[in-house]
Chains A and B, each alone.
Chain A
Amino acid sequence: MDYSELVDALRNGDSNSVNEICSDSLIILKKYLIATMGASPHDAEDAVQQMFEYLIPKIRMDVIDNPGGLAKYMMKASRHSYLNLLRDHDLNDHEVLSEEPHVDENQIWDLVNDERAKILKLCIEQLKTHYRALVDFIFKYPEADAKDVAEKFDISLNNAWQRKHRVIKKLTSCAEKHY
């Protein structure tokens, strides 16, 4: 994300550009709250919207000192918005609301959705044979790490990482076309 473009768009009152630039961040910050705070998709979206409502005037007023650190600033502000939402919604249940609510370790798995999984399956079918062999190996041994992949395919550890990463990039690119 190019924050200088966001700052320029805000200062010029170009709301279309602001919306466009923020849309990617909005999605990722929403997932961030789901994965790290256990937020529901609905609450996460509300919290991030509120964060932008809080942040945008600050950018307009040139209060943000360090645009380079804006990502972390947005994450922190999103967390606070979410905690405020919780207070507003369930004050009786959270009279002593901690700063950071307890989050299960496997919260990231809440980001998995069936539609994406279906597309990924289609994309796996389209992989070239030797990449498919790697995915088949991972399916057979889900706990296999890069070292196991290197051993299985008789390649260096570095090449194993490279091949895994290449498969992920190919699947990502394929999924983007179908999603």
Chain B
Amino acid sequence: MSEKEIYREITRYIDGDLSKEEVEDLWAQFVDNPEYYKWFETELHLRDLAKRASESNIHSIHSDSEQKTPISFWKSSKGWILAAAAAVLISFGLQFHSNSDTLTYHPDSISQIDLNEMSGSDILRSEGDVSHTIDIEINRALASAYEDDSEGAVRKFRALLLQDPDPQQKARIELNLGILYYNMAVYEQATVFFETVTKTDAMNRFFTEKAWWFLGNAYLNLEMLKEAREAVHNAYTSDGRYVDPALSLLKKLDEELGNETNQADAAEMPGD
């Protein structure tokens, strides 16, 4: 069984969903690998603390209509309102953002990405071309962001993604969405867009270097240190404008990951 499967079995065990045979199998895993038992012990104690906490302040996720309704509505609607999906998603994402004001960023990460890092389009094509129209709309969305209307900008960029942009336009839109979500502290969404940009062949290496750097910072805020290190390392080896901050962050990450060898490797790499 993979670690992921073991963890799921642990939760099923505590929920009382395992058969007797499955319980025996799980305990055999615990005996073979005491670390798994420690996860079980932690999950069990966490549940116990949660139960005790709830005794004085009863909540039920399935009866709290104020909490549940908007989410359930979105979940049940997304399958059939395809055209409106982007708008609903944006609304939900922004609602999530407004509910997550208490989120803070990792101390070693960049707190906010300068909006000047967003990417606009050069308006060069002939008027009336679909591509030309999308370029104009990209710049309009950018203008919204510059006018402190991040929510409007996200809405516009996401709508543009549905209009079949060319690969370069798509990369620009996604980088911009990544930056906007990052600044809203919606790091999960930011990583999705930055990751896509790192895989594009449509842009030059400085563009993808930027995406790697921001992706690394977004992972850092999600405490996904290994993924953060890999992304920051990619930014570092691009040997561009982020080489110094990337090296500095790599050292901190290696320290946190207990990775002295990688630290030495990283220090030598760009000059190779």
Give the residues from 103 to 146 in chain A that come closer than 8 angstroms, CB to CB, to chain B: 105, 108-109, 111-112, 116-117, 120-121, 124, 128-131, 133, 135, 138-146
Let me know if B59 and A141 touch, CB within 8 A. yes
Let me know if B46 and A72 touch, CB within 8 A. no
B72: A residues at CB distance < 8 A = 151
A10: B residues at CB distance < 8 A = none
Chain B, 179-210, contact with A by CB distance < 8 Å: what is the 0/1 string? 00000001111000000000000000000000
Let me know if A151 and B8 touch, CB within 8 A. no
Give the residues from 20 to 65 in chain B that come closer than 8 angstroms, CB to CB, to chain A: 23-24, 27-35, 37-39, 41-51, 53-54, 57, 59-62, 64
Query: Within the complex, which residue of A25, A75, A120, A131 is in contact with B49, where a contact is CB–CB below 8 Å?
Result: A120
Stretch of A12-20, A54-62, A82-90, A153-161 contacting B (4+ beta carbons < 8 Å) = A153-161
Let me know if B38 and A32 touch, CB within 8 A. no
Let me know if A108 and B14 touch, CB within 8 A. yes
A154: B residues at CB distance < 8 A = 92-93, 96, 186, 188-189
Known contacts: A112-B44, A116-B45, A140-B59. The answer to whether A165 contacts B4 by CB under 8 A is yes
Residue of B nearest to A24 (CB): B34
Interface of A is mostly: helix
Q: How far is the CB of A69 from chain B (nearest CB, A)?
A: 8
Q: What is the CA–CA distance of A108 and B60 in the complex, to the nearest angstrom? A: 23
Give the residues from 202 to 249 in chain B that come closer than 8 angstroms, CB to CB, to chain A: 221-224
Query: Within the complex, which residue of A1, A159, A176 is in contact with B188, where a contact is CB–CB below 8 Å?
Result: A159
Residues of chain A at interface, number, CB under 8 A: 58
Give the residues from 41 to 67 in chain A that come closer than 8 angstroms, CB to CB, to chain B: none
B60: A residues at CB distance < 8 A = 141, 143
Known contacts: A71-B28, A105-B16, A152-B71. The answer to whether A142 contacts B38 by CB under 8 A is no
Q: What is the CA–CA distance of A129 and B71 in the complex, to the nearest angstrom? A: 22
Let me know if B30 and A142 touch, CB within 8 A. no
Interface of A toward B, CB cutoff 8 Å: 1, 24-25, 27-29, 31-32, 35-36, 71-72, 74-75, 105, 108-109, 111-112, 116-117, 120-121, 124, 128-131, 133, 135, 138-146, 148, 151-155, 159, 161-162, 164-166, 168-172, 175-176
Beyond the given pairs A154-B186, A168-B42, A175-B38, 7 more chain A to chain B contacts, judged by CB atoms under 8 angstroms and listed by A's residue number, are A36-B27, A75-B31, A121-B49, A129-B104, A141-B60, A154-B92, A172-B41
Interface of B toward A, CB cutoff 8 Å: 3-4, 7-8, 11, 13-14, 16, 23-24, 27-35, 37-39, 41-51, 53-54, 57, 59-62, 64, 71-72, 75, 92-93, 96, 100, 102-104, 106, 186-189, 221-224
